[in-house]
Chains A and B, each alone.
Chain A
Amino acid sequence: MSGGIGLDVRLPIGVMFVLMGLTLVLYGWMTNGIPGFYDKSLGININLWWGLAMTIFGGAMLAPVLFKGR
């Protein structure tokens, strides 16, 4: 997939999304239950759920890169 270039674009994207996703999940867990904190997002702990979605997306980007060599 990476053609003539030695860096697969999915590697940096995957790592960045996993990193950002986990950061958001952690922050969502830390702020869970603080009164009024999630008023803006209609009472949904959006950091937790969106962080989870980003982590899964990042993982999906990384999977083919990590298993390609096997």
Chain B
Amino acid sequence: MTDVRLAWIDYVLMAIYFAFVIGVGVALKRFMRSSTDYFLSGRAIPAWVAGLAFISANLGAQEVIGMGASGAKYGIATSHFYWVGAIPAMVFVGVFMMPFYYGSRARSVPEYLKLRFDEKTRALNAISFAVMTVFSSGVSLYAMGKLFRLLLGWDEDASMLVAAGIVLAYIFLGGLTSAIYNEVLQFFLIVFGFLPLALLGLKDVGGWDGLQARLMTHSVAQGYAPTAYTQCWAFMGDATRNPVGVEWFGLAMGLGFVLSFGYWCTDFLVVQRAMAADSMTAARRTPLIAAIPKMLFPFLVILPGMIALTVEPRRETTPAAAVAHVGIIPAKTTDSGEVLRDTNARPVIDYDLATPAMLAHYLPAGLLGLGLTALLASFMSGMAGNVTAFNTVWTYDIYQSYFKRDASDAHYLWMGRAATVGGIALSVATAYVAAAFNNIMDVLQLVFAFVNAPLFATFLLGMFWKRATGHGAFWGLVAGTLAAAFHHGISLPEGATVGVKGGFLGVFLSPYRSELAQTFWTAITAWTVCFIVTIVVSLATKPRPDEELVGLVYTLTPKPTEETAFWQRPGTLAVVVLIGTLLLNVIFF
């Protein structure tokens, strides 16, 4: 892989991109007058800008690289992460939850928990969230450094520090507005940078029909039905008959309900973009506008991974790659260049290189520079999303609440900039720790499962059941997180060894077919335990009077008025998005 050489033109395109993202920060600096400007963009962002930022903040490294990798591992079924695992939750947060987030004037998700429940619930959420954002941004930073070393032979530390430095510069200067503006810019750059892969790749393999035909051989060789890689639902009845290793109930409940709603409806990283919108209607439309590109992303990020399986390298790059590759995806190698092999002596394929290998395979000098710039942009948008969420939660929910309650606004603005520097420094430190982990996506899903899975039960009860109390919410969350860890501790996916993969409390559950199946069921367990414990503890503790909960709970809040035209209403948009998603599921059934 290391023989990809860049021409001067490729560096020119990268330089243009760097100049513009930093330029946006510089241009916005003079508008950052108060902490509200810095953390919430003064609540002045139009819906389409907030919507594209919403999706772009999520379109980080784990998305572009991870989904390409999953496309190669699981085929078209990977689009369940979009059509099942994102769209329904995005519609729900826009239609039903945004009125409480935006309407309560909370400045962050943890602050909503403080308004609705109590201080300790907020503290629990704020601290775990802050840790998680730093972890995520560290993981993506590490992935970036490693990738650019493998691909271009760039020095790992240097590329990590440059990328982190640029993100630091534009957020430090222009705060959330800078991050949002650059996320929109990065969104279009990612689309233009990666679309040629899908287009050229499809042309090369003979369109969708050609790809289906080519994947049949691969599918049969893996012991599945011929169309297992090109049909997303047909083999979901039985975990042993599809490459994902999950059955439909675990998929729909674990991914589609618990994990997906836990992420899209409660994660401040995305919700923050909608909170910055310029009106209630704009805030509600933000996730719905974001859902439109989201439902089409499988073509952009999953398809290249699938194509990578079916084309052959034009010339062998290294002797090792000559014997160990699937399609154009090379095997993992040790530092000395030897091919890694599993217990059956078969080479271990490095699926994370599927999309990068496509870049090197199809793009000539010029467009290669654009594709690599798009890759850098995706790393930066993901990192910036984490850093802006971190600096807000740190400043408002941790610093202002527990360290310095009544300082001037200028002081909190200063603190926000300091937290930006601190957050990025911690991310860089985490990047070195993250080196121990393997498939980025699976690890992130695991972390989300422990921390986020119980969360949605808390928000659901908080927003739609006025009887839920602070004690109930707090102990529900604690119990849910413990239940997640416990379930993970007593179960183990097929072929895995006891340890971080599970089973550390002893293997009691019959082995799951795949890590994903185990993760989904961990999430289901956590959610259910949190849901039940919250209800039980709430009923045993004193409820808050109704008048304190106006604007925070569904039954006590006036319905938002629809002042816009019929076709602009969130409800109309929601129906359009759901019908589109349903159609895609039917087409690729």
Chain A residues with Cβ under 8 A from B584's Cβ?
none
Contact A13 B188 (CB under 8 A): yes
Question: Which residues of A in the span 1-44 have a Cβ within 8 Å of any Cβ on B?
Answer: 1-7, 9, 12-13, 15-17, 19-20, 23-24, 27-28, 31, 37-42, 44
Which chain B positions have C-beta within 8 A of A51?
366
Tell me how far the C-beta of B34 lies from the nearest C-beta in chain A, rounded to whole angstroms: 11
Q: Are A41 and B31 in contact (CB-based, < 8 A)?
A: no
Is residue B410 within 8 Å, beta carbon to beta carbon, of the partner chain?
no
A45-67 Cβ-contact flags toward B at 8 Å (1 or 0) = 01100110110010000000000
A38 to B188, CA, bound (A): 25
- Chain A nearest CB, measured from B307 CB (Å): 13
Q: Assess the A4–B185 pair: CB atoms within 8 A.
A: no
List B residues 1-59 near A (Cβ within 8 Å).
Answer: 9, 12-13, 16-17, 20, 23-24, 27-28, 31, 41-42, 44-46, 49
Task: Point out the residue from B16, B42, B200, B362 that lies within 8 Å of A16, measured CB to CB.
Answer: B16
CB distance from B542 to the nearest CB of A (A): 42
Q: Measured between alpha carbons, how far is A57 from B180 in the docked complex, in Å?
A: 20
Q: Is the CB of B16 within 8 A of A9?
A: no
A42 contacts across to B, CB distance below 8 A: 200, 203-204, 362
Q: Is B450 an interface residue (CB 8 A)?
A: no
Task: Evaluate contact between B46 and A16: CB separation under 8 angstroms.
Answer: no
The answer to whether A7 touches B27 (Cβ under 8 A) is yes
**Is B196 interfacial (CB 8 A cutoff)?**
yes
- Known A-B contacts A13-B185, A57-B188; the reply to A40 vs B44 at CB < 8 A is no
Pick the contact of A6 from B12, B23, B31 — CB < 8 Å? B31
A28 and B361 contacting across the interface, CB-CB below 8 Å: no
- Total chain B interface residues with beta-carbon distance under 8 A: 38
Nearest CB of chain A from residue B15's CB, rounded to whole Å: 10
Tell me the smallest distance from the CB of B26 to a CB of chain A, in Å. 11
- Known contacts A13-B185, A16-B16; is-contact A5 B364 (Cβ 8 Å): no
> Quick check: A16 and B45 within 8 Å, CB to CB?
no
Are A40 and B16 in touch, CB under 8 angstroms? no
Measured between alpha carbons, how far is A1 from B181 in the docked complex, in Å?
13
The distance in angstroms between the C-alpha atoms of A21 and B45, with both chains bound, is: 27
Would A12 and B185 count as touching, CB distance under 8 A?
yes
The residues of B that contact A37 with a CB separation of less than 8 Å are 364-365
Closest to A44 in B: B200
Closest beta carbon of chain B to A17's beta carbon, Å: 7
Contact A7 B31 (CB under 8 A): yes
Cα distance A17–B362 when bound, in Å?
22
Verify if B556 is at the interface (C-beta below 8 Å from A). no
Whether A46 contacts B28 in the complex (CB less than 8 A), given A17-B188, A27-B366, comes out as no
Q: Chain A residues near B364 (CB, 8 Å)?
A: 31, 37-41, 46-47
Judge whether B46 and A1 touch: CB under 8 Å: yes
Once bound together, how far apart are the Cα atoms of A27 and B27, in whole Å? 30
The reply to whether B16 and A20 form a contact with Cβ atoms under 8 Å apart is: yes
Q: In the complex the two chains form, is A20's CB within 8 Å of B188's CB? A: no
Supposing A5-B31, A7-B28 touch, asked if A46 and B196 sit within 8 A by C-beta, the answer is: yes
Q: How far is the CB of B181 from chain A (nearest CB, A)?
A: 5
CA separation between A53 and B196, bound complex, in Å? 12
Query: How many angstroms from the CA of A5 to the CA of B176 in the assembled complex?
Result: 12
Say yes or no for B442: interface residue by CB 8 A criterion: no
Q: In the assembled complex, how far is the CB of residue A53 from the closest CB belonging to chain B, in whole angstroms?
A: 8
Name the residue of chain B whose CB is nearest to the CB of A61: B188
Contact, CB under 8 Å: A12 / B27: yes
Who on chain A is nearest to B185 by CB?
A13
When the two chains form the complex, which single residue of A5, A15, A47 contacts B366, counting CB atoms closer than 8 Å?
Answer: A47
Is B361 a contact partner of A40 (Cβ separation < 8 A)? yes
Are A3 and B46 in contact, CB atoms less than 8 angstroms apart? Answer: yes
Scoring B42, B184, B185, B278 by chain A CB atoms within 10 A of each residue's CB, the highest score goes to B185
**B177 and A5: CB pair below 8 A?**
yes
- Any chain A CB within 8 A of the CB of B426? no
Interface contact B362-A3, CB-CB below 8 Å: no
Instruction: Give chain B's interface residues, CB within 8 Å of chain A.
Output: 9, 12-13, 16-17, 20, 23-24, 27-28, 31, 41-42, 44-46, 49, 177, 180-181, 184-185, 188, 192, 196, 200, 203-204, 278, 314, 361-367, 370
Residues in chain A within 8 A of chain B (CB atoms): 1-7, 9, 12-13, 15-17, 19-20, 23-24, 27-28, 31, 37-42, 44, 46-47, 50-51, 53-54, 57
13 contacts between A and B (CB under 8 A): A5-B42, A7-B27, A9-B49, A16-B16, A19-B16, A23-B13, A23-B16, A24-B366, A31-B365, A41-B363, A41-B364, A42-B203, A46-B366
Apart from the given pairs A16-B20, A42-B203, A50-B370, 14 other A-B contacts in the complex at a CB distance below 8 Å = A3-B278, A5-B31, A5-B44, A7-B27, A7-B31, A9-B181, A13-B188, A15-B20, A20-B16, A24-B13, A31-B364, A41-B364, A47-B364, A51-B366
